[in-house]
Amino acid sequence: MSSTGHITKILVLCTGNSCRSQIAEGYLRHFSGSRAEVFSAGVETHGVNPRAVAIMREDGLDILHHTSNNIEEYSAIDFDAVITVCDNAQERCPVFIGNVRRYHHNFPDPAKATGTDEEIMEQFRAVRDMIREYCRRFVETELDV
């Protein structure tokens, strides 16, 4: 454990800040505890998807209080790491000044899922599980300790 007291600031960036980035924010906060400040934003804002809230609740995490934020709202924050969770956000990601570590993983967009309500929820759960594992590994390997 570091004695510097430095808290890593992490931004998770997606297209609409409604599903994937919200899920990642929830897991990064959960796995990092007090070691990081975690934010999420979109290059657009679509509101937090109720299905994302529901599948996170199934896993014991409450993201109901999360808000859908535009990247421009965080322009004054010096992030240590930016994680883009879709190719569109990576392509449209603004330039960050300073020593920002960039990470990218293109997760499927569960908001584009089709089928019955249960089939759609299964696709949300599958993406949630991928993001949970990514966030667990990220905290284990990349977070300042």
User: Is-catalytic flag, 93?
Assistant: yes
For the chain, the straight-line distance linking the first and the last C-alpha, in angstroms and rounded, comes to 5
What 2-5 contacts at long range (C-beta under 8 Å, 24+ apart), as own/partner pairs, is 2/144, 2/145
User: Is-catalytic flag, 14?
Assistant: yes
Rounded CA-CA distance 22/63 in Å is 7
User: Is-catalytic flag, 86?
Assistant: yes
DSSP reduced 3-state for 108 = coil
**Catalytic residue among 93, 121, 126, 143, which?**
93
**Catalytic residue among 86, 89, 127, 135, which?**
86
Tell me whether strands 81-84 and 101-104 are parallel, antiparallel or unpaired. parallel
Give me the active site residues, please. Answer: 14, 86, 93
